[in-house]
Amino acid sequence: MKIMKVFKYIKTFQERFLLQKIIVFYLFLSYVIAGFLFSEIVCNKCGHENADEAVTCIHCGEMLVRKENTVSAEIKKSALQDKLKEIINEEGKTADEFFQKGNVDLAALFYRNALAIHLLIDDTNAVPPSWEERTFPKNAIQPLKIKIKCRACGGSGKRTIETVGLDSKTTSVSSGLPCLICNGTGIEIAEEPWKERRERFIEAERQYLAIQKAKRFVRIGGAWVPPTLIEEPLSNKQIAMLKRFCVSPCEKCYGSGRSECLRCKGTGMVTCPNKGCKNGQVYKEKDGELSSGKIRSSEKCPVCKGKGKVICEECRGKGAVTCDKCHGSGERPLCDKCDGNGLVKCPVCNGAGIKDEKSCLNCGGEKVILCHSCNGEGHKK
């Protein structure tokens, strides 16, 4: 009624229009103030409306998230993901460089770290879509073929025959013919011994740690992340995920899942079982025409085909057998306390995430904490 009386004293159109704007602004301001004083938070889980000051839903007990916090978190998440993608690409480029140089072990360590960081963006897909054509293995140790001096001819590349004198002494004489084992090259191709493989892996890991420290990256288990990533603390689940993916390998086989075959000592070959065979040759004695001694003639051993070695039956020529400590997994045994998850139920809130109607301070409302037995790695120490 008072407003209507005011209209009686307003004669011009401009004055009435100004008054209407004032009224609309007044009503809008009243609505905002009322919404602020009597606002409610809707539970994302069950949809129940809760008082603004509530921390947990009174209907289902779920932690409540305010809209302004959600928007801010989404902005931060988007910026963080962009930063992570840059880091992943940089780690991938470093891996490519070492791979091209032939340092497969070091390349694999950088590749593994990039994949671990990628899990922070997408924990359902271990490999970025743009990396589908990459062929780096997760395990760092890779069997290598190396060149060694021919064990049959001592590296000379010449076949030898033996003569037996009147005093029954045996003398080796070079025949001038090419060695049957190395075909005259004096070189054999063999698998790298397991001891040397372990040393190679340890050296690659040493170089890897030095490079990551030089970049001032921070270590989380076996993963290395930039310091900017931990400005906002990672969740217990994220930390456990990084540690599980980059867990230290089996200390016996260093992640390969295989250990050296004891029978052939890692060579994949054993001495020919033919008793008359020597370095792949079976010798026969005959009298010399120009000497009083005897000359041994030789022919290729029918068992080893002139090689002097046969494939080891224990490892089928691979030089290695399944590791008896990790049973071929390449990893340390799973932690019994957390069943390999790296996480256990929070003992303070008993896995509820809430304590005294507030977010649990021990687990930060996550309901789980890192397993103290394995420190979140999911594997025994």
Q: Which residues contact 371 (CB under 8 A, 6 or more apart)?
A: 240, 335, 337, 338, 341, 342, 343, 344, 378
Whole-number Å distance between alpha carbons of 353 and 360:
5
Query: Half-sphere exposure of 165 toward its Cβ, with a 13 Å CA cutoff?
Result: 6
Q: Which tokens hold the place of 226?
A: 């930039």
Angle at 234 between CA 229 and CA 236, to 5 degrees: 155
Q: What is the mean pLDDT of residues 225-234?
A: 79
**pLDDT tier at 223 (50, 70, 90 boundaries)?**
very high
The 3-class SS string of 51-113 reads ECCCCECCCCCCECCCHHHHHHHHHHHHHHHHHHHHHHHHHHHHHHHHHHCCCHHHHHHHHHH
Q: Which residues contact 36 (CB under 8 A, 6 or more apart)?
A: none
Indicate the SS3 state at residue 323. coil
High-pLDDT (> 70) share of the chain, %: 68
**pLDDT tier at 38 (50, 70, 90 boundaries)?**
very low
Checking if the pLDDT of 160 tops 70, the result is no
Q: Looking at residue 11, what is its pLDDT? A: 55
**pLDDT tier at 369 (50, 70, 90 boundaries)?**
very high
Instruction: Return the domain boundaries, the chain.
Output: 2-84, 146-191+269-311
Q: Which residues contact 257 (CB under 8 A, 6 or more apart)?
A: 139, 250, 322, 323, 326, 328, 329, 330
Whole-number Å distance between alpha carbons of 269 and 320:
11
Checking if the pLDDT of 3 tops 80, the result is no
Per-residue b or e along 188-201, where b marks 16 or more CB atoms closer than 10 Å to that residue's CB: bebbbbbeebbebb
**pLDDT tier at 349 (50, 70, 90 boundaries)?**
very high
Whole-number Å distance between alpha carbons of 3 and 25:
15
User: What type of residue is 97?
Assistant: E
Q: Looking at residue 137, what is its pLDDT? A: 46
High-pLDDT (> 90) share of the chain, %: 17
339-348: pLDDT as tens digits: 999 999 999 9
66-100: pLDDT as tens digits: 654 444 555 566 777 788 888 888 998 998 899 88
Q: What is the mean pLDDT of residues 313-333?
A: 85
Among candidate residues 154, 188, 206, 350, the one with its CA nearest the CA of residue 268 = 188
Q: Which residues contact 272 (CB under 8 A, 6 or more apart)?
A: 280, 301, 303, 304, 307, 308, 309, 310
Lowest mean pLDDT: which of 84-88, 110-114, 184-188? Answer: 184-188
Q: What is the mean pLDDT of residues 202-209?
A: 92
Q: What is the mean pLDDT of residues 14-37?
A: 61
Q: Which tokens hold the place of 90?
A: 């940089």
- State the DSSP code for 229: G
Whole-number Å distance between alpha carbons of 330 and 311:
25
Q: Between the ranges 66-70, 150-154, 173-177, 280-284, where is the mean pLDDT highest?
A: 280-284
Q: Which residues contact 124 (CB under 8 A, 6 or more apart)?
A: none
Indicate the SS3 state at residue 20. helix
Question: Higher model confidence: residue 89 or residue 54?
Answer: 89
Average pLDDT in the chain? 76
237-294: pLDDT as tens digits: 999 999 998 888 888 887 778 788 888 887 778 989 988 888 778 877 665 554 455 5
Q: Which tokens hold the place of 208?
A: 């890897």
Q: Looking at residue 26, what is its pLDDT? A: 66
The whole-model pTM stands at 0.61
Whole-number Å distance between alpha carbons of 360 and 351:
9
Distance between first and last Cα of the chain = 82
Lowest mean pLDDT: which of 26-35, 60-69, 219-228, 307-316? Answer: 26-35
Q: Which tokens hold the place of 246?
A: 């980059």
Question: Higher model confidence: residue 325 or residue 190?
Answer: 325
Q: Looking at residue 342, what is its pLDDT? A: 93
User: How far is the CA of 267 from the CAs of 187, 198, 257, 328, 339, in angstroms?
Assistant: 15, 16, 17, 19, 38
45: phi then psi, degrees, rounded to nearest 5? -90, -50
